[in-house]
Amino acid sequence: MGWLNILNPKVAKKVKSILVKDKAGTITGVKPLSGKVPWYIGAGGKDPGKRADIVKTWSKVKKTEKIDAAEKSVKEGKKKLKDLVETGQATELKDYKGKPTGKHYRTGSK
């Protein structure tokens, strides 16, 4: 009993129509342009080349946004740690030569 037998017959027929199989019957992929068009594709959704370019650009933009957010959080975190050290709530650990290690620990009883 395969997983297609569990599905509704109409759904199973739709799934079978988009699967790509090799000679032995093993599923190797899905037919191109068979899925739903993402909302950011727009008018270029039916042309495979345009769709690929749009998806690549979209993924690049998302990666850039993630990198920017990570850099921003690092900068804000460093500023907060510096403020905590200045107010006496935290102290930076130093190695045996007296150089700062970048790790902090809390000070005081509060």
Question: What tokens were used for 34?
Answer: 């068979």
Q: What percent of the chain has pLDDT over 90?
A: 0
Task: Give the 3-state secondary structure of residue 87.
Answer: helix
pLDDT of residue 107: 81
pLDDT, one tens digit per residue, over 14-59 is 777 777 777 787 877 767 766 667 777 776 667 777 877 887 888 8
Distance of alpha carbon 46 from the chain centroid: 26
Q: What are phi and psi of 95, to 5 degrees?
A: -80, -175
pLDDT of residue 8: 78
